[in-house]
Every structure is written in structure tokens, then in C-alpha cells.
A and B are shown apart, each in its own frame.
Chain A
Amino acid sequence: MSSAGRRTLVYAIIAIIVIAAVGGSAYYLMRPRKPKVIKVGAIFPLTGALAEAGKLQKYATEWAVEEINEAGGIKSLGGAKIEVVWGDTECDPSVASSEAVRLITAEKVVCVVGAYMSACTKTVSDSCEKYKTPCLNPLSTSPALTMRGLKWFFRLTGHDALFCKQHWDFIKELNEEKGLGLKTFATMEEDTEWGVKSGEAYIEYGKEAGFEHLIDVRYHRGAASLDSEVAKLKEADPDIVCLTMYTPDAILFVKTMYKLGFHPKIIIAQDVGFVHPSYKKEVGEMGCWIMSREVFNWDLATVSPKIKAKADEYKAKFGVDLEGCAARTYVAWHVLALALEEAGKKADPWKDLDGFRAALRDALENLEVTPEEWAELPWAITTYDGVKFGGLRPGEAGQNIKAWGIIVQMFDDGKYYTVYPEKYATKKAVAPIPW
């Protein structure tokens, strides 16, 4: 080969190498990449007595995670998608705890969301604390959960004591506005931890609001009769009665109240028993004018276009009406996405899982969503005023102090309407009860 020929061959080889290198690099850089995933544990009662509620939480989780991932995932982590790893409490606190350990140690999740029943949330959060993994709780309302000095536990929903405080703010306002002359109150609750704590909170905040507490009637859950209990209330003759009980006792209470002719001016209840669909169906017109705290009500959609849009979307997707359980779970995942975004700026979950978990804990602790921001967020469909974890009472930590509920009242058409706070109210509260 001539020297000119050899030179041409060398140039050709160099050109091929350069083209191959550039092309290869370009392909490498522009190749379709599978996005990284960030694992989050979700522990709900997927089987057992409360599986119905667990199913709704699963719906809400799938719905929120799909939205977050479709909107580009966690951008600070290069668009990482959230991958949910499911755990089942089976409505058993010890099972819930071992599920949490499995998700943290074997599945290596960055955070655990759950676990509905307060008793399960307690054991799950204990495990999270032990393994230094954040635990975000969307639904449990036992006030004691945020009084344990845990550093890795964050509760988004309001709790029973907070709701009690809200009840008294409302009653005080109502008393002044309508000149009702309400001065005294009585409490009646079932003898479970939930009942006892709620009763104590009613008494504490009621006295703080300036009302005189006349009598506390604690009864055995599922009693064969509530005659003497209601007779004691009648004898004490309070203006306001505060109730904490589940549906069967709630129905028996209302019937006994009518039977004994007990007519307080206001009856207010701690949710659950008084807002359950079977209570509304079975108690009939006897339940009229009783008020209860709630976290979600059908008429919110009539005052908030964004709630209506989400409620319609949920119904179309899952075929059931949006209610408090699903709404609060849905919101929790979006709040978690905000915190993940912040944590992603500080640590890398794939290289340093422990460091990322700590960064996520800090992000949750420092997270603040103002009422103005909350009003603008399309996914913020609960009646919170925003998000800020802290404590309302001495010794409390990890509680969303902006998580207010609403107060509903059953009207004579058998439906519950929101009567408080004013921005969500669709009807004016009827008080005193027109017996």
C-alpha cells in the first residue's frame, strides 16, 4: 500500500473510532432510562374487622401516588417515582409492628405511612422510632399518640382532644351569637381508652371555655341498658351533653333519651358512633339536631370546587363516594411528597438510606404549609388550615397543629350538614334543640 493509501486508511480508522465514541456517548447519554424508585411502606388494615376502611385507604394511596408519579415524581431525586410497599395490620397491633419491621429492614423503605387503628399506629410508630425511620400517620385520633415524646412520628389528622377544643370554640361562639345562656355541661363516654381520653378532653377544654361540668357518666361498652345512666344525666340537668360512643350504644342512648324525656339544649358527639352510615339509617328522626365532629362531609363539595372535582374523580375511579378516611389518606401522600422533595435536596436515598431517613424526618419537622398555600393546593381537600407539626399541649410533639375538623348537625331531612367553621358551613346550626 502506498503512503497516501496508508494515510487514508489511518484517517478512516480514526474517523470510525471518533464517530463510534461520539455516537456511543450520545446513545449512552440519551438512552431511555428506567426512572429510579423510592420505596415507601403503607401499613393498613387490609384484612380483619376493619378491612373495609383499609380498602378505602388503599384506593386513596394508589390514587395519590399515581398523581405524584405522573406529575414527574420527586424532582429533587431526578424524578424518582414512589413505589408503595404494602403491609397489613390484620387489625392486630403485634402484627402491625412486625409488618413495620419487615418494611423497614427487609424492604428498606424510606418512610412508613399508617396504620389506621390507634392501637396499631402505636406499635408501628414504636418500631419506626427504634429503627429511626419516619412514620407519617394520616388517620389515628387517640390524643396519647403524640404525647409519647417520639421524634420520628408525625400525625397529620387532628386528634380527639383537638376536636374537643374545636367543639368548645364553636359552642362558645354559638352561645354568644344566639344568646343561648348555656352554662353547664355533662359528659358521657364508653369505658375504652378512646372514650376515657375523649371524656377527659371534653371536661378539660369545657372548663377552660368557662362552662361548669356537672357530671361524668362512664358506662360499660355494649351495656344491655342505659336507663340509669341517662336518668343520672337528666337529674343533673345540664345545658350541653358531650358524648363519646360507638354506633350501637349511640342508638341505644338516643332511644333511652327519648324514653326518659331528657331534653338538653345541645348534644354534641365525638364522631364515630354518630356519623356511621348505619347510625344515620337506623336512628331516624330521633337523631335530628344532634351535632358531631367530622373530618369530611358530603356537602363540602358544594362549597369547595376543588373538593367537588376530587370527589367526582374519586367516584369515577373507584365507584364509591369520597369520605374522610380516603380524603385524609390521599392528602397524607401529597404532604409526604412535599417532604420527600425537601429531603432529596439533602441526601441520597440509594447511597445513604439512614441519612435520607434523617433528612426526611427533618423535612417533616420543618415543613410548613400556610393557610393561603393550603387554599391553593389542588390536592388539599381536607378541612385543615395547612400543615405544621408541633404540639398544642405541653409535652406534645409531631402533631399537625393546623388539622381542624368540622362540626355537622343532622337536620330534619335525615342528612348531616356542616355548621362549623363558617367557611365550610352550608347551614346555620339549630340551637337550642327544638324538642
Chain B
Amino acid sequence: MVDLWLLGQATTSGLLLGCIYAVVALGLSLIWGVMEIVNFAHGDFLMLSMYLSYFLFTYLGLDPLVGAILGFLMGLALGLLIEKGLIEKVLGSPPIVTILVTFSILLIIRYGAMAAWGPGVKTLHPWYFMAILDLWGVRISMAYLIGALISLAATIALHIFLTRTYTGIALRATSQNRLAAELLGIDAKKMYTLSFCIGVALVGLAGGILSTFYYVIPEVGGRFCMLSFVIVVLGGFGSLLGTFLGGLIIGVAEEISAIFIPPVMKDVVAFILFLLILMLKPSGLFGEVTR
């Protein structure tokens, strides 16, 4: 008989973590949805933002949530630079070219970080990490709660942007049919740049949130990047709602499975679940089969 407290704690932890996984995956989903390129450097943009938060907190005393906002802005700038300088040049090339370009960016950022800041672990301790909400024994750190709420807010804001604003609708139009969108006067190139910038900015935001409770090392991005791919495919490439739900499903599945089976297998459970869903619905939970 599994203890109810344990089940409650695992579910709560899974939901909160899932929200944060979702915000990490959101940018990847957007970039794929509009540009149809798989950004392998996604996790390393996350890592850069985590280091930014770490340094701002350690040397300037700035809260990591302020770091998250600055991470968002850094992401916008970095996204613009990389899209204009590299991605734009290879768009339309065979997929292997864009894969190699983003993979090269991954290597440069990761090993650059290793050379600049060393392989050592860094972590920061904002006061709200230890501010604990105790709900009938189920303990929630405010750092996770704040992170989950920001993640939810970012998803809603992105949804409103894509469905209620002219630019957002133009973005979606470009993702659905580039030629038709261009015939209607939409500058597809600009839309690509915009989606790449927002995608990297979102992962910049996620890095700030993650740094409030997770450690920073040069390889940290790899772990979350893998999860992001699973979440995005699970939810349906390009679907925001799907990505968010995918994050929650993976988070909860990992945490709950760890109480029934040896925790060392919890990643396997997440991947089995992922494959099962794809077998039943190959386009993912909310993905469109067209294209």
C-alpha cells in the first residue's frame, strides 16, 4: 500500500516540474512550428541564461527572477544575431545542414562555457527556495511554485500573442503555408527571425527560472534539451497547448513512477509513455497530421 502522502508529494512535485519542463520546451516548439528546424542548441541557450542568472545573483545580488527577465532579453538579442548571421543563410537547405549548424552552435557554446567558467558546479540560493508551503504534509518550495506560475503565464501570453495580435496571426499563417502568407503580403523572412528570437528568448526565461533551484554546469542544457524534444513530439510539434500538457505528463509520469518502481527506471517510463502515445497518435497529442 503506497502512502497517500508519498503519492501527493510525487504528484505535486511532478506537476510543478512539468510546468517548468514545459517552459523549457516552449521555445523549441515555436521554432519548429514556424521554421521547421530542430534547434539542437536549445539546451545550451538554457545553460547560458542559467549562468547569466548565477553571475547576476552572485556578483550583483540580483534576484534570479530578474535574471530570468534579462535572460529573456539576452535570448532575443542572441536569437536575432544567430538567425540573421547563420540560420537565415541555410534555410531551405536540406535538413542535415540546419541540423549541423545548430549542432555546431551547441558545441561552440558548451565548450566555450567549459573553457570560460570551468566544469565546476555552481548553484544559487534565493531566499524563496526555502520558503515552504506545507499543504497537509505535502511540501512545496516557493521557487518551484513561482517558476510554475511564470511558466503558465508565459504559455498564456504566447497563446494570446499568436491568436490575438496581427503579428502573431501572421506568424501562424507563415507556419501553416509560407507561400500563401507571402501572397498576402506577410514578410516570411521577418516571421522566421521573429519566431527564432522569441524561441530563444523563452528558453532564456526558462534558464532564469530553473536556476532558482537547479545547479548550473556547462552540460546542464543536454539534460533538459532531451526532455524538451520528448515533450514537443509528445504534445505535437508546433502546438503550444500540446507542449504544455506534454511537460505536465512527463513531469508527473517520472515522479509517480519513481515511487512504484526503482527510481533509476523513471526516465525509461517517460520514454515508454512517449512511444505509446506516438503509436496511438503519430502526430502527437495536439499535432496536425497535414504538411
- A-side residues, CB < 8 A to B, are 49, 191, 217-220, 222-225, 227-229, 231-232, 235, 247-248, 251-252, 255, 258-261, 276-279, 282-284, 286
Contacts and interface: CB of A to CB of B under 8 A. Distances in A.
17 contacts: A191-B264, A220-B263, A224-B17, A224-B254, A225-B255, A227-B255, A228-B10, A228-B254, A229-B258, A247-B121, A248-B217, A252-B214, A255-B123, A255-B213, A259-B129, A279-B121, A283-B123
Interface stretch (B1-9, B171-179, B233-241): B1-9
A353 B228 CA distance: 60
Interface residues of B, number: 37
Contacts of A217: 263
Interface of B: 3, 5-6, 9-10, 13-14, 17, 21, 119-123, 125, 129-130, 132, 139, 141, 213-215, 217, 223-224, 227, 254-256, 258-259, 262-264, 266-267
Contact of A284 (B17, B125, B256, B264): B125
B254 A225 contact: yes
Contacts of B254: 224-225, 228
A227 B13 contact: yes
A26 B84 CA distance: 86
A282 B267 contact: no
B215 A252 contact: yes
Contacts of B227: 224
A62 to B, nearest CB: 25
Given A231-B10, A252-B214, A282 B122 contact: yes
Contact of B6 (A222, A232, A252, A282): A232
Contacts of B264: 191, 218-220
Given A220-B266, A231-B6, A232-B259, A248 B215 contact: yes
Given A261-B132, A284-B125, A228 B266 contact: yes
9 A-B pairs with least C-beta separation: A228-B258, A227-B13, A278-B120, A282-B123, A259-B141, A218-B264, A191-B264, A228-B255, A229-B263
A251 B258 CA distance: 20
Contacts of B223: 222, 224
Nearest to A284: B125
A227 B129 contact: no
A227 B267 CA distance: 14
B217 A258 contact: no
A231 B259 contact: yes
A298 B269 CA distance: 45
Given A49-B119, A227-B255, A228-B258, 11 more contacts: A219-B263, A224-B214, A224-B254, A228-B259, A231-B6, A231-B10, A232-B263, A248-B215, A251-B215, A278-B120, A283-B123
Given A224-B223, A227-B255, A283-B123, A218 B129 contact: no
A258 B263 contact: no
B260 to A, nearest CB: 10
A251 B121 contact: yes
B118 to A, nearest CB: 9
Contacts of B6: 231-232, 235
B215 to A, nearest CB: 5
Nearest to B251: A225
A407 B21 CA distance: 39
Contacts of A228: 9-10, 13, 254-256, 258-259, 263, 266
Nearest to B124: A282
Contact of B9 (A260, A276, A278, A279): A260
Contacts of B217: 248
Nearest to B143: A259
A220 B267 contact: yes
Residue from B123, B141, B254 with most neighbouring chain A CB atoms (10 Å) = B123
Contacts of A49: 119
A273 B108 CA distance: 28
A247 B6 CA distance: 26
A217 B227 CA distance: 22
A258 B123 CA distance: 15
Nearest to B21: A224
Nearest to A282: B123
B139 A259 contact: yes
Contacts of A259: 129-130, 132, 139, 141, 213
Contacts of A248: 121, 215, 217
A32 to B, nearest CB: 50
A223 B258 CA distance: 12
A225 B119 CA distance: 20
A277 B121 CA distance: 10
A235 B6 CA distance: 7
Contacts of A232: 6, 258-259, 263
B123 to A, nearest CB: 5
B19 to A, nearest CB: 13
Interface centre among B10, B13, B214 (most CB of A within 10 A): B13
